[in-house]
Copies of this chain bind each other. A is one copy, B any other.
């Protein structure tokens, strides 16, 4: 398969494929001449993975490159896959150092209290700390115990998701599955959470309790 065919097969323009090649998110094909290379199924799959991370996960190309480096690095153990992939997915944020430090400490307490095995330098810690900072600013308090209720169900979910990663498949496939699963299930979980919120809001504040239902009035 040459670049034109790869483009046809994936929907990405030739120019975009060249760009991805340049940025290192797509491995080069086998060169058959100075201006000719052969691509295969691995390129189609990789291209799909890149699109998934970009469109669904809203990752930038540079972040995707970092995730894929981990996916392709044979020295990264499977048990680190989720962690490494996720670290590359945490966006840097502008922070208020004061509140942020305090929040980080609170996160540590949260992790310890819930007996979670999380690396000390895992990117998810800052992530949770950031949300704490914002909740605090809007009057939700600083206490991480408000999250404790979320843990058991999410642990259960995680177990279900992990079970979908076949233990028998080869490392590359497992890594890929980890990454896709992390992103896709995150979006799904967010969607369902929002649905639950809309549903709950309807039950609490809905038509039965106050006035009429009015979706988008003129």
Q: Which residues of A contact B (CB under 8 A)?
A: 11, 48-49, 52, 55-56, 58, 75-84, 86, 91, 93-94, 96, 111, 116-119, 122, 124, 127-128, 130-132, 134-135, 137-140, 146-147, 149-162, 164, 176-178, 180-207, 210-211, 213-217
Contacts and interface: CB of A to CB of B under 8 A. Distances in A.
B162 A192 contact: no
A214 B76 CA distance: 7
Contact of A193 (B176, B189, B211, B217): B189
Contacts of A190: 127, 186, 189-190
Contact of A162 (B11, B79, B201): B201
B138 A191 contact: no
Contact of A79 (B86, B159, B204): B204
A119 B215 contact: yes
Secondary structure of the A contact surface, majority rule: helix
Contact of A155 (B49, B119, B199): B199
A121 to B, nearest CB: 8
Given A157-B196, A158-B193, A195-B124, A77 B205 contact: yes
Contacts of A182: 194, 197
B128 A214 contact: no
B138 A78 contact: no
Given A116-B195, A150-B157, A210-B77, A131 B184 contact: yes
A198 B140 contact: no
Nearest to A122: B198
23 contacts: A11-B96, A49-B138, A52-B137, A56-B131, A58-B91, A81-B205, A82-B194, A82-B201, A83-B198, A86-B194, A116-B195, A122-B198, A124-B195, A127-B190, A127-B194, A128-B187, A128-B192, A134-B180, A135-B188, A154-B196, A155-B200, A186-B194, A190-B190
A191 B94 contact: no
Nearest to A77: B214
Given A186-B190, A195-B118, A199-B118, A210 B78 contact: yes
